[in-house]
Amino acid sequence: MSDDWTERWNDRYSNEEFAYGEEPNNYLKQELEKLNIGTILFPAEGEGRNAVFAAKLGWTVSAFDISLEGKNKALQLANTNNVTIDYQVGELKTLDYKPEKFDAIALIFAHFPADIKSLYHKTLDKYLRKNGIVIFEAFSKKHLDYLAKNEKVGGPKDIESLFSIEELKSDFENYEIIELTEQEIELNEGQYHNGKGSVIRFVGRKK
């Protein structure tokens, strides 16, 4: 990833206030509470709100991001909540996760650069055990219409970085689809996710 991309996220996470708040994403919370506790990975985890929530439930939590500022905020949040998370900084190819290490992977607004997003999904699949669960929520390609009306809802401004149902089916083709929908939701997450947006929600079990 480019230095500009890393710098952008370091800048966003460098403020004292949490960019997307300290509470977990609603969809992540809803779906994670249905699962048996185990090991979970949070890619592109930013300031750690979702990872810390999982750790508070008893999960063994790993997370990564390209932003050192994000890691610092995440460890701060974990300390405040008296939990421990393993948080690494770097691109996925530089990290040392083992095959079939995790019971679940949570991709919550993990908008990787358009040219690598499918590669990342297929790489992450290798780290998930058979019968493991993927929980995914991110902005859909229809989201540009919402963004044009309200910039405060946030999200990428290029359609290639946004998702479609067809892309998710292709990236996670060896999964039993538990849920795969495109829907309008109301976001209220910190400074950067506020208002109506269009998202893809996906829960899948690895075959």
CATH of the domain at 157: 3.40.50.150
Does position 180 have pLDDT exceeding 80, yes or no? yes
- Rounded CA gap, 43 and 109, in Å? 10
| Share of residues in the chain with pLDDT > 70 (%) | 99
Instruction: Please give the residue range of the domain that contains residue 86.
Output: 3-206
Q: What is the pLDDT of residues 145-155, one digit of tens each?
A: 999 999 999 99
Residue 93, sorted as left (phi over 0), alpha (psi -120 to 50) or beta, turns out to be: alpha
The torsion angles phi and psi of 105, rounded to 5 degrees, stand at -130, 130
Total number of domains in the chain:
1
The structure's pTM equals 0.96
The predicted pLDDT at position 1 comes to 61
Closest CA to 91 of 123, 59, 60: 123
pLDDT of residue 3: 79
Q: How far lies 15's CA from each of 3, 98, 104, 129, in Å? A: 19, 33, 30, 37
Reported as a single tens digit per residue, the pLDDT across 88-132 is 999 999 999 999 999 999 999 999 999 999 999 999 999 999 999
Identify the band that residue 5 occupies on the pLDDT scale cut at 50, 70 and 90.
confident
Q: For the residues 68-96, what does the mean pLDDT come to?
A: 97
